[in-house]
Amino acid sequence: MKRLPRRNKRDGLTLTSGQCAVFQLGADMLSEYPDLDEEGVEKMVERLWSTHEKQILANWIQTFPGTRPPTFWRIGLGNLPGRPFVRESDGTVEDGRRFTEERRVQDLAFLIRHKLLTREEEKSILAEKKKREELNAELENDSR
């Protein structure tokens, strides 16, 4: 994933590598601001997100089209309803894979329904779908 540009101003809105991980991986940011309480940290995360959202999303989408980073689902939805609920995984590897796929499908449906996909994402998703269909057809022909 590309590095995010950092602001040079001393306004507290410069992203560190740890903060980038928070936005991209959903990690905890409390350790990034030891002088702030949880509410203060959450406000800082919201300020950082609003300042860097476009770049964070652009980098994420380039690597993971049709998905969004955890922070998008937590604070980036604005007035849209929350992330669609998907059942809890039972903790097994097999169920974890099913859960991950169900989550991916639900998230993609949400992004499509609310017209949140970029044109590049739509093209990428359609190209991936076409590749899968061609591969399935090839596998089906090979099995005959």
Question: 47 with 73, same domain?
Answer: yes
Question: 16 with 71, same domain?
Answer: yes
Question: 23 with 71, same domain?
Answer: yes
Question: 98 with 132, same domain?
Answer: no
Question: 13 with 72, same domain?
Answer: yes
Which residues in the chain come in under a pLDDT of 50? 4-10
Q: pTM of the full predicted structure?
A: 0.72
Question: 74 with 5, same domain?
Answer: yes
Question: 2 with 30, same domain?
Answer: yes
Please tell me the total count of domains within the chain: 3
Question: 2 with 32, same domain?
Answer: yes
Confidence at residue 7, expressed as pLDDT on a 0 to 100 scale = 43
For 83-108, write each residue's pLDDT tens digit. 877 778 788 889 888 988 998 999 99
Handedness of CA 2, 34, 26, 116 (dihedral sign): negative
Distance CA 10, CA 37 (A): 21
Confidence at residue 26, expressed as pLDDT on a 0 to 100 scale = 65
Question: Is-contact 60 1, C-beta < 8 A?
Answer: yes
CA-nearest of 78, 79, 56, 51 to 67 is 56
Q: Which residue range forms the structural domain that includes residue 71? A: 1-79
